[in-house]
Structure 1
């Protein structure tokens, strides 16, 4: 019986995109799989190891394997995640990511895992076929509705650019909802899909090739909430869609020492702080950023805003409206780096969360 149980355990490799909004959900999933006795090899750049190892609840089963990021001309030296670069340089980061192909290939050839879980490394399915005996799962951390609207449409950039606003908001054929749809302003933002994201590949191609070539698609949700969209994806891509559930980490109880967050939050009454955070790829225009912070000022509530520097600026501070810092003083804290969201949300002072 013991031998049979041991034989049922899986060897899994995790290879997520180089953004903490991807790395952390993959680590949370790794913990859930390790809890069930499966062995995980987690591929990541060395600078991300320090942050991720704190979240590793099963170090006897989850091994963090550090990859060497090749330097790409135009990238700052030492840049290894989206937290290290402005949005304008993420395509170069994706190029460096793809140039780890050889190192990843050698690792998989030596390990011969049962599965590789990936998202942005669209070349993983072909690589797994070349090596043989490895199944691939494209694990999506974004909403299935977003995936459906964004990827199940024409891949031709000229078709998109020539489309009218009414055509852009129209959902793809057989899309299962009349209410979860795009507004015109949102539909226009889909143009980012056709921007280069790595050498010779667009964001659209990177995302869709991975989903098309994998053996199965994984989703960070549950059937009861988004089952109709997942069924739609399964039909369109003709492969199984597997649910992991939300897979959230347990909030830690320790103090928020980074950036003096603990001391800052303790200044305010329970439930009074507005916390706003956008993902690292969400880059606002300067005007949008200014309207956002002016809106928080008008609430007259303390606020914590975590956002990348707006387009065309080097820092959030230089983009602030005139006189804003003097008016708000210590009531508003604006950061342009990664913060521990769960720990902030669990703090007694936080009463409202704003995100995209």
Structure 2
């Protein structure tokens, strides 16, 4: 097979860039050349993932400043959720720089996700194929074909039922319609909604790449292929292999080694999830109720400057021998595959789903927060039957410490 020249241009979120980096490695393994475009402050995280530096070349982009953003902000990790739309504006202002790059390189393919304007550049330059490379689950990626922008004032009963095998998908959409509408139709960049970015990308590209396999989510992918009228290509989970070295950062190796095999409960909420203070306190108190050693990786709750200041009174002293709480990046794959870890409490991000399914033997407790993660939780519990979801909520739709403890105990039954 002839070798391809591919440009990888993901959205400036690590949840998008890292999967694209893993996919780049898989392509480079087959001899293809990759030009990976990213902001300069992402280099440290991405460079250590580059397994084929002779075939994968990094190009650091000059990120323009937009009023309202902190100076130096280049990725979603640098800004709160409320400022992501402004970050998307800076992303779109790279149009001329990307155009010049593509004109000089003349690649065979551009892989993109929310940069819908890549389609115009590819047509203008000519000879470039485009692949919409989504990191979302196929269930979430199918939503733009379920819900149309003229339905923004609709009631839950008017939601179009997707012709899918998974009835829980429709239930989740109905239960979360307000969140769905807000997510899809709010401005994400200047003068464009998130819905428009995804819909234009999926209907205007040459092909769609899905980070899954047909055996697990083929029904959703068939639905997307039918409604987008584009071929859907399966990439598989494309995960990085966990390293075998010790977990030296933050003393994790020594801490985990203190406990028996399969006894530690590990909980991680991703790089962007921020809990309300009340919900955070229910989370940590739930781990105390479980009476097992636990490792929690979570951002400081809303309205606080640190995790420690948000802890319930006396909590730190009560769990100091068996509980470790961190608010920084950790090597999740290496932790999941450590012999001491026996249970993984996950927010059901798509990357975490694949890591837990493909690379570890942990019991899974599903604690989805954004509505799109609820789709993944229902897939894992109801269709794949690989985990237990914390379903019971209080009157404010918040989980309680008792229900978290109950779900973890069910995993051991």
Does the Cα contact within 8 Å between 1:301 and 1:331 map onto a contact in 2? Answer: yes
Q: CA deviation at 1:175?
A: 3.8
Distance 2:295 2:146 in 1: 36
Secondary structure in 2 aligned to 1:198? coil
Aligned position for 1:194: 185
Q: CA deviation at 1:133?
A: 1.1
Q: CA deviation at 1:346?
A: 1.3
1:178 aligns with 2:167: yes
* Correspondence list, 1:17-56, <5 A: 17-56=11-50
Aligned position for 1:86: 80
Q: More displaced, 82-91 or 102-111? A: 82-91
Query: Which whole-Å deviations, capped at 9, do the CAs of 1:108-129 have from their partners, x for residues lacking one?
Result: 1110100000112121111211
Q: More displaced, 236-245 or 17-26? A: 17-26
Aligned position for 1:69: 63
Does the Cα contact within 8 Å between 2:66 and 2:89 map onto a contact in 1? Answer: yes
Distance 2:328 2:223 in 1: 36
Q: More displaced, 138-147 or 326-335? A: 326-335
Aligned position for 1:263: 254
Distance 1:261 1:187 in 2: 41
Question: Which of these residues, 326, 333, 346, is aligned with residue 342 of structure 1?
Answer: 333
Secondary structure in 2 aligned to 1:353? strand
Secondary structure in 1 aligned to 2:115? coil
Q: CA deviation at 1:267?
A: 2.9
RCO greater where, 1 or 2, for CA within 8 Å and sep 6 or more?
Answer: 1
Question: Which of these residues, 96, 113, 137, is aligned with residue 90 of structure 2?
Answer: 96
Question: Which of these residues, 110, 116, 122, is aligned with residue 116 of structure 1?
Answer: 110
Aligned position for 1:57: 51
Secondary structure in 1 aligned to 2:35? strand
Q: CA deviation at 1:165?
A: 4.1
Question: Which of these residues, 115, 130, 143, is aligned with residue 137 of structure 2?
Answer: 143
* Correspondence list, 1:115-264, <5 A: 115-149=109-143, 151-156=145-150, 159-160=151-152, 162-167=153-158, 171-172=161-162, 174-183=163-172, 185-190=175-180, 191-264=182-255
Q: CA RMSD in A?
A: 2.2
Does the Cα contact within 8 Å between 2:144 and 2:198 map onto a contact in 1? Answer: no
Secondary structure in 2 aligned to 1:50? helix
Query: In the comparison of the two structures, how many residue pairs are matched?
Result: 345
Q: CA deviation at 1:216?
A: 0.7
Secondary structure in 1 aligned to 2:324? strand
Q: More displaced, 71-80 or 128-137? A: 71-80
Does the Cα contact within 8 Å between 2:77 and 2:272 map onto a contact in 1? Answer: no
Q: CA deviation at 1:319?
A: 3.4
Q: 1:290 to 1:52 in 2, by over 3 A?
A: same
Q: CA deviation at 1:333?
A: 2.8
Does the Cα contact within 8 Å between 2:297 and 2:327 map onto a contact in 1? Answer: yes
Distance 1:118 1:45 in 2: 15
Does the Cα contact within 8 Å between 1:221 and 1:245 map onto a contact in 2? Answer: yes
Q: More displaced, 295-304 or 110-119? A: 295-304
Distance 1:165 1:288 in 2: 27
Secondary structure in 2 aligned to 1:225? helix
Query: Which whole-Å deviations, capped at 9, do the CAs of 1:288-332 have from their partners, x for residues lacking one?
Result: 333222222211222222333334444433433343333333533
Does the Cα contact within 8 Å between 2:211 and 2:234 map onto a contact in 1? Answer: yes
Distance 1:21 1:104 in 2: 22
1:352 aligns with 2:343: yes
Secondary structure in 2 aligned to 1:63? strand
Distance 2:257 2:74 in 1: 33
Question: Which of these residues, 92, 101, 104, is aligned with residue 107 of structure 1?
Answer: 101
* Correspondence list, 1:242-321, <5 A: 242-321=233-312
Aligned position for 1:10: 4
Aligned position for 2:373: none
Q: CA deviation at 1:185?
A: 4.5
Which structure 2 residue ranges, 5 or more long, are not aligned? 349-413
Does the Cα contact within 8 Å between 2:263 and 2:292 map onto a contact in 1? Answer: yes
Q: 1:336 to 1:296 in 2, by over 3 A?
A: same
Distance 2:186 2:134 in 1: 20
